[in-house]
Amino acid sequence: MMEEVKINTEYITLDQFLKYVGIAETGGKGKQMILEGLVKVNGNIELKRGKKLRKGDTVIVDEKKFVIK
């Protein structure tokens, strides 16, 4: 299942995105998930919480897939 997430800015950082879609309750929890290697961006494990996500990027966390529109 893939969920489309619309952003109104040029980009959103990965830790902000996890909080925005409700995967992480806090920024700290999002950072922890990223550092533990639980988040994939465009098919690759992403360890940088400041990774800039742009339209067309995909994020996968716990079998949930998001695409940025």
Q: For residue 57, is pLDDT > 90?
A: yes
Confidence of residue 27 (pLDDT cuts 50, 70, 90): confident
Q: Are 64 and 5 in contact (CB under 8 A)?
A: no
Domain map (residue ranges) of the chain? 2-68
Give the angle 59-62-65 at the CA atoms, nearest 5°.
Answer: 35
Q: What is the pLDDT of residue 26?
A: 87
Could you report the per-residue pLDDT of 1-13, keeping only the tens digit for each?
799 999 999 999 9
Share of the chain above pLDDT 70, in %: 100
Reported CATH class of domain 2-68: alpha beta
Q: What is the pLDDT of residue 6?
A: 96
